[in-house]
């Protein structure tokens, strides 16, 4: 084959690669995603790829049968809370965001009908979505992942994936949860709002500033993030002196080491939260209750946070947890598992 | 008359580092996020030293005695250690571009700490792994250097350091890719940028012995370090056992650097920049250069750390500040000074 013939053949192959999915898919419909991008989506979606962890959780809750895999392989501890056929799905890496680890060829090999990403919708994510869509020919949609929009995102995706009933059920649950917590928070006078510090990192001196996606649940339950005084943005380091001067009434963390040490650490002893033993660890299995990832998994975190911040609110956490895990994670949680899950989630004297 | 002037100038140059250091430390002690007065600070220190109660609220005592003093002390010793190690390395390698991380000590310490964070270990284990990682990396580099024959031994060491450093850097990147992006990755990133935000008195006391042990041979061998800047053959002709000297000094400088980065994370530029400034002030004689470097390094890091904790409500990572201040200053120094480093 001469060079010209080779180039033409190459061009044809590329064309086939780029345009075949649309041609092969029988019926499509136009969908306008959260960024206002108009995307052609097949009427019947069978295989969906989540671009990042929040999308993964949303997809797993709504339509686990349509998942092509996990962004990251669940650990053994996480697998215990993920329904049996799904926890062994393959892992393919993150497609967007910091630390893009997915291989485009691997994505193509998964043969998804649709790629979804849930989270921040901004120019960066729009251009990433456009690029991947162009490169693979697979429709790629963005869904607003902010916590207040949780019911919307459940409904939208449920409709899109042909699981409208499930979407409506979960959205109704989310609506009810948000409404209930609004009522609890509204009953707390503005000057009595719990002042909370969220300590991340091994020493607990990493925190989320105002507007950080990691802190959204805090606002939802009507608590004040003491680190808002330090400005807005994402995660930042603060000094212990700073935390001492904020003197939070409640400390939240994800790290069992930090939780265990802070209660006996003379350096932290002067802080109101430590004096009153109000240092709480959010459960993290199979997905974080407070953030990590910032997805629909945070809905159960709202119930938990309400129970620890407002002890008078009478939340039956065990029943709620069972119900939530059944609805969203498709598992029946045993008493033993519940004990383990909630073991360190409240403060110890 | 005319002979008095250079003498006075030399006196000022010699006196500048200790005076600057004292001023910086005093300023640093009174600046902070938690409002305490200079009198409170004096009262708490006085009370702790005399064993009497200070009569101040416990939180004020905690801030002064457990937070601010250890932080200033750590800044002082970390800065001094990095600068001293830099001075020794630059002399040993006869190269003014050498800094404490040239033999892979920073990369090794980073890998150790990142592994600790990746495995969700307690803080003490993370610091221990950082310390061990730094020492192990230099040990490995030295073994490679000893195994390679037929080349300039110093060149081999530097090249082995570059290679091992790159390998360790790749391992760090691998762990970053594998780490949980919502919890571990930010912690790793913050650690790699360096900070004194979370140092405690315990941290300070645990690394102090290593720093002192590292400093002792430098002080004892101060005259011979000068001779190490000569060619190996010339030095041997003067009766210096160059190989043994090199092992002892590299071990000492590595110990100090590893101890420093195990509690502070990676702080660049101090070990490269401070020896140059010290050399401009007091000249290349190691027995004068070492104390000047120690004092300037300590003072510089305390000053930068004060900036890091008072610029904004959040902590600005030290590694960012030392580079942002150090690099332009270094270039300015190169352009304006004529004094060679030898």
- Nearest CB neighbour to B190, from listed A53, A206, A244: A206
Which of A272-276, B95-99, B288-292 is predicted with the least confidence, judged by mean pLDDT? B95-99
pLDDT of A19 higher than 80: no
Record: contact A240-B198, CB cut-off 8 A: yes
- Nearest CB neighbour to B63, from listed A205, A236, A241: A241
Residue A274 φ then ψ, to 5°: -75, -40
Please count the residue pairs, one from chain A and one from chain B, whose beta carbons lie less than 8 angstroms apart. Answer: 111
Residues of B in contact with A255 (CB under 8 A): 120, 183
pLDDT of B282 higher than 70: yes
* B250-268: pLDDT as tens digits: 999 999 999 999 999 999 8
pLDDT of res. A348? 59
State the SS3 of chain A.
CCHHHHHHHHHHHHHHHHHHHHHHCCCEEEEECCCCCEEEEECCCCCEEECCHHHHHHHHHHCHHHECCECCCCCHHHHCCCCHHHHCCCECCCCCCCCCCCCHHHHHHCCCCEEEEEECCCHHHHHHHHHHHHHHCCCEEEEECCHHHHHHHHHHHHHHCCCHHHHHHHHHHHHHHHHHHHHHHHCCCHHHCCEEEEEECCCCCEEECECCHHHHHHHHCCCEEHHHHHCECCEEECCHHHHHHHCCCEEEECCHHHHHHHCCCCCCCCCHHHHCCCEEECCCCCCCCCCCCCCCCHHHHHHHHHHHHCHHHCCCHHHHHHHHHHHHHCCCCCHHHHHHHHCCCCCCC
Residue of B nearest to A52 (CA): B181
Residues of B in contact with A98 (CB under 8 A): 181, 185
Looking only at the bridges linking them, the beta strands covering A224-225 and A195-199 are parallel
> Which is more confidently placed, A225 or B1?
A225
Question: Min CA distance, B120 vs chain A (Å)?
Answer: 8
pLDDT of A166 higher than 80: yes
List beta partners, residue A232: A210
Please, how many CA atoms are within 13 Å of residue A237, restricted to the half-sphere of its CB? 25
> Which is more confidently placed, A312 or A66?
A66
Record: contact B67-A203, CB cut-off 8 A: no
- Nearest CB neighbour to A99, from listed B177, B312, B313: B177
Query: What span, in angstroms and rounded, lies between the C-alpha atoms of B292 and B307?
Result: 22
Mean pLDDT of chain A: 88
Record: contact A244-B34, CB cut-off 8 A: yes
In this prediction the ipTM stands at: 0.80
Query: What span, in angstroms and rounded, lies between the C-alpha atoms of B105 and B140?
Result: 10
Record: contact A94-B181, CB cut-off 8 A: yes
Read off the pTM: 0.84
* Confidence tier at A23 by pLDDT (50, 70, 90): very low
pLDDT-above-90 percentage for chain A = 57
* B33-87: pLDDT as tens digits: 888 889 999 999 999 888 888 888 888 888 898 889 999 999 999 999 999 999 9
Average pLDDT over residues A215-230: 91
Residue B17: Cβ within 10 Å count: 24
pLDDT of res. A349? 46
Record: contact B183-A209, CB cut-off 8 A: no
pLDDT of res. B5? 63
Query: What span, in angstroms and rounded, lies between the C-alpha atoms of B169 and B180?
Result: 19
* Confidence tier at A67 by pLDDT (50, 70, 90): very high
pLDDT of res. A346? 81
Query: What span, in angstroms and rounded, lies between the C-alpha atoms of B257 and B101?
Result: 8
pLDDT of res. B25? 94
Residues of A in contact with B187 (CB under 8 A): 200-202, 206
pLDDT of res. B12? 85
- Nearest CB neighbour to B187, from listed A201, A209, A242: A201
* A112-154: pLDDT as tens digits: 999 999 988 888 889 888 988 988 899 999 999 999 999 999 9
Residues of A in contact with B197 (CB under 8 A): 205, 237-240
pLDDT of res. A11? 62
Q: Which residues of B touch A (CB under 8 A)?
A: 32-35, 58-59, 62-63, 66-68, 71, 116-117, 120-123, 126, 176-177, 180-183, 185-187, 190, 195, 197-198, 200, 309, 312-315, 317
Residues of A in contact with B71 (CB under 8 A): 239
- Nearest CB neighbour to A267, from listed B67, B117, B176: B67
Question: Min CA distance, B109 vs chain A (Å)?
Answer: 17
Record: contact A270-B58, CB cut-off 8 A: yes
* Confidence tier at B1 by pLDDT (50, 70, 90): very low
pLDDT of res. B342? 45
Strand order in the sheet with A224-225: A224-225, A195-199, A250-253, A279-281
pLDDT of res. A202? 84
pLDDT of res. A122? 86
Q: Which of A6-10, B172-176, B338-342 reaches the highest mean pLDDT?
A: B172-176
> Which is more confidently placed, A215 or B7?
A215
Q: Which tokens in the block code for residue A189?
A: 């006078």
* B122-147: pLDDT as tens digits: 888 999 999 999 999 999 999 998 89
Which of A337-341, B176-180, B210-214, B271-275 is predicted with the least confidence, judged by mean pLDDT? B176-180
Query: What span, in angstroms and rounded, lies between the C-alpha atoms of B225 and A17?
Result: 67
Interface probe for A, chosen from B121, B179, B182 (most Cβ of A below 10 Å), is B182
């Amino acid at each position: 084959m001469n060079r010209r013939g080779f180039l033409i053949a190459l061009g044809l192959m590329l064309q086939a690669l780029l345009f075949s999915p649309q041609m092969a898919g029988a019926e499509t419909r136009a969908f306008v995603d959260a960024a206002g991008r108009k995307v052609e989506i097949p009427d019947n979606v069978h295989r969906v790829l989540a671009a990042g962890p929040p999308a993964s959780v949303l997809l797993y809750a709504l339509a686990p049968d349509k998942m092509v895999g996990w962004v990251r392989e669940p650990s053994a501890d996480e697998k215990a809370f993920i329904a049996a056929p799904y926890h062994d799905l393959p892992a393919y890496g993150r497609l967007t965001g910091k630390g893009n680890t997915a291989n485009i060829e691997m994505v193509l090999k998964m043969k998804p009908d649709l790629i979804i990403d849930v989270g921040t919708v901004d120019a960066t994510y729009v251009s990433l979505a456009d690029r991947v869509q162009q490169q693979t020919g697979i429709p790629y949609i963005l869904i607003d992942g902010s916590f207040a929009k949780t019911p919307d995102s459940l409904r939208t995706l449920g409709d899109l994936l042909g699981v409208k009933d499930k979407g409506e059920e979960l959205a109704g649950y989310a609506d009810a949860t948000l409404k209930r917590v609004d009522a609890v928070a509204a009953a707390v006078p503005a000057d009595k709002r719990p002042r909370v510090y969220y300590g991340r990192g091994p020493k607990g001196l990493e925190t989320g500033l105002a507007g950080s996606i990691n802190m959204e649940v805090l606002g939802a339950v009507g608590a004040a993030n003491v680190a808002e005084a330090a400005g807005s943005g994402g995660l930042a380091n603060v000094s212990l002196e700073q935390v001492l001067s904020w003197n939070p009434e409640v400390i939240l963390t994800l790290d069992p080491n930090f939780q265990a040490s802070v209660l006996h650490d003379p350096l932290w002893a002067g802080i109101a939260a430590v004096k009153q033993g109000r240092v709480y660890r959010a459960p993290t299995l199979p997905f974080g209750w407070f953030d990590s990832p910032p997805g629909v998994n945070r809905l159960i975190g709202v119930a938990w946070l309400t129970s620890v911040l407002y002890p008078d609110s009478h939340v039956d956490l065990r029943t709620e947890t069972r119900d939530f895990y059944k609805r969203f994670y498709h598992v029946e949680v045993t008493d033993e598992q519940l004990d383990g899950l909630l073991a360190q989630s409240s403060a110890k004297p | 008359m005319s002979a008095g002037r250079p003498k006075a100038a030399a006196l000022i140059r010699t006196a500048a580092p200790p005076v600057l250091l004292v001023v910086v430390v005093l300023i640093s002690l009174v600046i902070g996020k938690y409002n305490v007065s200079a009198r409170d600070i004096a009262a708490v220190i006085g009370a702790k030293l005399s064993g009497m109660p200070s009569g101040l609220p416990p939180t004020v005592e905690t801030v002064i005695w457990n937070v601010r003093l250890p932080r200033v002390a750590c800044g002082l010793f970390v800065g001094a250690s990095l600068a001293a190690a830099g001075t020794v390395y630059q002399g040993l390698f006869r190269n003014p571009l050498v800094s404490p991380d040239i033999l892979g000590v920073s990369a090794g310490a980073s890998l150790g700490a990142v592994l600790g964070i990746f495995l969700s270990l307690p803080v003490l284990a993370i610091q221990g792994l950082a310390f061990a990682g730094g020492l192990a990396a230099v040990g490995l580099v030295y073994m490679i250097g000893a195994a390679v024959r037929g080349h300039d031994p110093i060149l081999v060491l530097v090249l082995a350091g570059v290679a091992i450093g790159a390998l360790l850097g790749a391992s760090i990147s691998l762990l970053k890719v594998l780490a949980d992006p919502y919890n571990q990755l930010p912690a790793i990133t913050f650690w790699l940028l360096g900070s004194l935000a979370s140092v405690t008195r315990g941290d300070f006391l645990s690394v102090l012995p290593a720093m002192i042990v590292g400093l002792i041979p430098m002080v004892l061998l101060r005259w011979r370090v000068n001779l190490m800047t000569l060619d190996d053959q010339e030095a041997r002709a003067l009766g210096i056992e160059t190989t043994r000297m090199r092992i002892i000094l590299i071990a000492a400088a590595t110990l100090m650097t590893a101890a420093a980065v195990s509690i502070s994370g990676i702080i660049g530029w101090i070990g490269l920049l401070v020896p140059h400034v010290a050399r401009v002030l007091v000249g290349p004689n190691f027995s004068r250069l070492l104390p000047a470097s120690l004092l300037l390094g300590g003072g510089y890091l305390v000053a930068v750390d004060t900036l890091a904790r008072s610029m904004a409500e959040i902590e600005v990572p030290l590694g960012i500040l030392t580079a942002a201040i150090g690099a332009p200053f270094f270039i300015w120094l190169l352009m304006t000074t004529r004094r060679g480093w030898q």
